[in-house]
Structure 1
Amino acid sequence: MTAHADLQANSYEALSGPRLVFATGNTHKISEFHAILEPFLGDIPTGSIACLSDFSVPEPIEDGATFAENALIKARSLCNATGIPAVADDSGLCVKIMGGAPGIFSARWSGHHGDDQANLDLLLAQLCDVPDQLRQASFVCAAALVMPDGNEYVTHGEVHGVIIRKPRGSGGFGYDPIFVPEGFEVTSAELTPEQKNALSHRGRALRSLAPHVVDIFR
């Protein structure tokens, strides 16, 4: 038996081991994943869901041209390394007047991956002369589930809104403090976690993926 097969037998097939792994070490995303999927998964054993930081595996290069391609790159890499079904998402902010940018480069728009404040500040500076009526944007997410047997599933979620001129709110992360969802007067960072999960692009993508995730625990 290969080392990969040993790992798969000791984790995926063992009731006490992880049955699903999230391809992220972002604690905000992990909390959202759990909250969004909990209504579908119900009462599952502790330790059944793991995350990237639970394994000593390298993070793949996200060189896809779309959110879906990058989500699949991450999920495939972690599934292949662990032998466990892997869920990954790739998401970002797409500003209409900027031709859809930052898009897949949202997390590293300022040149440093994961520097939320620098990314937000740079985007606001780039939009400083854009009138309010032209500040439409969308949060977009692709979620992918990759199975050890080779089956793959991809779903999408999208939320439309506008970019305001100054950050508001202390919740959420990323560009949430400058994004007002369509039909709301508050930013995503001013929503409660429950409101945000019900509305968000990630929530929509993961809820669409949930039926396939639930099958893993049956």
Structure 2
Amino acid sequence: MSEALFLASTNEGKRAEFAALLAEHGLELGASIPYPEVEENASDYLGNAALKAAALHGELVRIGTRATVFADDSGLEVDALEGAPGIRSARYGGVELTWPQRRARLLAAISEVPAPRRTASFHCSLLAIDERGDRYQGFGETRGSIVLAERGDAGFGYDPLFLPDGERRTFAEMSAPEKARTSHRARALRALVAAMGK
């Protein structure tokens, strides 16, 4: 039986993506476990990931479960917007916005930016805490650009807007295995698994 890692996230798109990525390493994604809500107020991606991982780890300790937990914080950084939405990617435009509204807001913000200057990058920081309390980190980045209009129905978040360098399809036009070849989360997870010696 493969080892299960527990993800500090209720985002179903993110959970599905990590489940597939973990399977490539012979690992499983553990069941979703409720944990105290965390205010993501750190100054960087890794700090927010650490807050979430610590909250889930604390909950597992409280219920007497010994396991490895991990959390991610990811963001889209658009060069023409001086790195925005960045660490506030999931809250860009306000927490009340839906993802389609958030994407529309981003497109409006760069509507006057010509295609060659619509460069952007996805960043992912992962932090894991094992059953002993030891911490491990993994980082990933994918460079690309923002397309003129949404393309594709797969994925989640900003995937319909992001065209990775060297590709003709956005993340939302790719299958999960295709996205895993270049995604920031896949790269961060590979680094994390290597750091953990899995």
Q: State TM-score, norm by structure 2.
A: 0.90
Which residue of structure 1 aligns with residue 144 of structure 2?
161
User: Equivalents in 1 of 2:102, 2:197: separation in Å?
Assistant: 35
User: Equivalents in 1 of 2:75, 2:19: separation in Å?
Assistant: 20
Q: Does 1:200 align with 2:178?
A: no
CA contact (8 A) 2:123 2:184 kept: yes
The equivalent position to 1:138 in structure 2, one of 121, 127, 130, is: 121
User: Equivalents in 1 of 2:168, 2:90: separation in Å?
Assistant: 25
Matches within 5 A, 1:1-218: 19-41=4-26, 49-51=30-32, 54-55=33-34, 57-83=35-61, 84-112=67-95, 115-211=98-194, 215=198
State the shift of 1:85 in Å.
2.0
State the shift of 1:81 in Å.
1.6
CA contact (8 A) 1:144 1:154 kept: yes
> Which has the larger Rg?
1
User: Equivalents in 2 of 1:110, 1:19: separation in Å?
Assistant: 35
State the shift of 1:208 in Å.
1.3
**Which 5+ residue runs of structure 1 have no aligned equivalent?**
1-14
Aligned-partner residue type, residue 68 of structure 1: L
Please give the secondary structure, in 2, of the residue aligned with 1:76. Answer: helix
When residues 113 and 194 of structure 1 are mapped into structure 2, their CA distance, relative to the original with a 3 A threshold, is farther
When residues 107 and 98 of structure 1 are mapped into structure 2, their CA distance, relative to the original with a 3 A threshold, is same
Aligned-partner residue type, residue 121 of structure 2: S
Please give the secondary structure, in 2, of the residue aligned with 1:50. Answer: coil
Which residue of structure 2 aligns with residue 7 of structure 1?
none
Q: Deviations over 1:72-122 (max 9, x none)?
A: 110011101212321100001000111111001001102026721111010
User: Equivalents in 2 of 1:153, 1:213: separation in Å?
Assistant: 6
User: Equivalents in 2 of 1:113, 1:20: separation in Å?
Assistant: 31
**Which 5+ residue runs of structure 2 have no aligned equivalent?**
62-66
CA contact (8 A) 1:22 1:87 kept: yes
State the shift of 1:41 in Å.
2.0
State the shift of 1:19 in Å.
4.8
Aligned-partner residue type, residue 54 of structure 2: R
Which residue of structure 2 aligns with residue 10 of structure 1?
none
Aligned-partner residue type, residue 144 of structure 2: G
Please give the secondary structure, in 1, of the residue aligned with 2:188. Answer: helix
User: Equivalents in 1 of 2:154, 2:30: separation in Å?
Assistant: 25
Q: Deviations over 1:33-65 (max 9, x none)?
A: 1111112125x6xxx7122xx33x221111111
User: Equivalents in 1 of 2:169, 2:113: separation in Å?
Assistant: 20
State the shift of 1:128 in Å.
0.6
Please give the secondary structure, in 2, of the residue aligned with 1:41. Answer: coil
Q: State TM-score, norm by structure 1.
A: 0.82
Give the 4+ runs in structure 1 shifted more than 3 A: 211-215
User: Equivalents in 2 of 1:191, 1:173: separation in Å?
Assistant: 12
CA contact (8 A) 2:128 2:135 kept: yes
Which residue of structure 2 aligns with residue 4 of structure 1?
none
